[in-house]
Amino acid sequence: MWEMIRPRQGNLRLWQGGMLVAFFVMWHVLTVPGILPPFYFDDSSKAAFFFGEPLKVLGRVWEWFYSGEIYAHLWVTLWETVLAFVIGTVSGLVIGLWLALNPVASALCDPYIKALNSMPRVILAPIFSVWFGLDIASKVALGVTLVFFIVFFNVYQGVREVSPTILANARMLGANGRQLLRHVYLPSATAWVFSSLHASVGMAFVGAVVGEYLGSARGVGYLILQAEGVFDINTVFAGVLVLTASALVLDYAVTLAERRLLRWRPGRISSAS
């Protein structure tokens, strides 16, 4: 059997940073006219038009933050994302627990849950715009629909996967329904929830940005849409870069919460998380 070799934390971060630098260097070499002869496009300047230039992209990001232009838009997008993330997570947790512990309600709702989950949620964005207007509420509603089902199915599965032996032992020790929920079902569901929250962060961002695409006057998605309208690919990539960095920050916050709340779980978190 192969023995797993895990790098030390410092070396791991160094390699990760090196991969990022190598990516930007390669991007620069392949897109800046004059460094390499044209091999994909007949004119080397076309590569910069389609894929942008990393120095100009980073310069645009710096200009946004230095001038303060980005802060109002970024705040709107982050607020939409956090609201969608929290509401979707809490509702998925509550409804997932309820249906997992209520076989009759689960059997009744099963076809409707599956039907809603199979629906492409992006098509709901215009409907939410009509219902809630073009402000934050419609973007949050779309994000909630994306986050909810990820959390719901993980919670539902986590509760259903509780060992019957553990339940029987707890009942033999005199645990009532509330104690079973607190000490058996919730810990099991929590472990499954955190496995889904990292994906949920990305889905919450998707809901916010797609909503801003379809109708908004604020947000990073709005800035990207405006840049696309004038074929400013560098600004588009700058917006993508800002969104990616913001998503990583929120994902790291989820990791910190996971480390704190799941201390009881053996092998709870990899040091590379």
pLDDT of residue 102: 81
E strand or H helix that includes residue 83 = helix 69-101
Segments making up each domain of the chain, as ranges: 76-261
Closest Cα to residue 219, out of 34, 73, 30? Answer: 73
Q: What is the pLDDT of residues 62-112, one digit of tens each?
A: 988 888 888 888 898 889 899 999 999 889 888 888 887 788 888 888 888
CA distance linking residue 254 with residue 252, whole number of Å: 5
pLDDT of residue 49: 67
Burial class (CB in 10 A: 0-12, 13-18, 19+), 254: middle
pLDDT of residue 83: 92
Please tell me which residue, 126 or 163, carries the higher pLDDT value: 126
What is the token pair recorded at 65? 């933050």
Q: What is the pLDDT of residues 19-36, one digit of tens each?
A: 888 888 887 777 776 665
CA distance linking residue 141 with residue 84, whole number of Å: 7
* pLDDT for residue 113 is more than 70: yes
pLDDT of residue 120: 81
Mean pLDDT estimate for the chain: 77
pLDDT band at 268 (very low <50, low <70, confident <90, very high): very low
Q: What is the pLDDT of residues 148-162, one digit of tens each?
A: 988 888 888 777 666
Output the pTM of the full model: 0.76
Architecture of the domain spanning 76-261: Orthogonal Bundle (1.10)
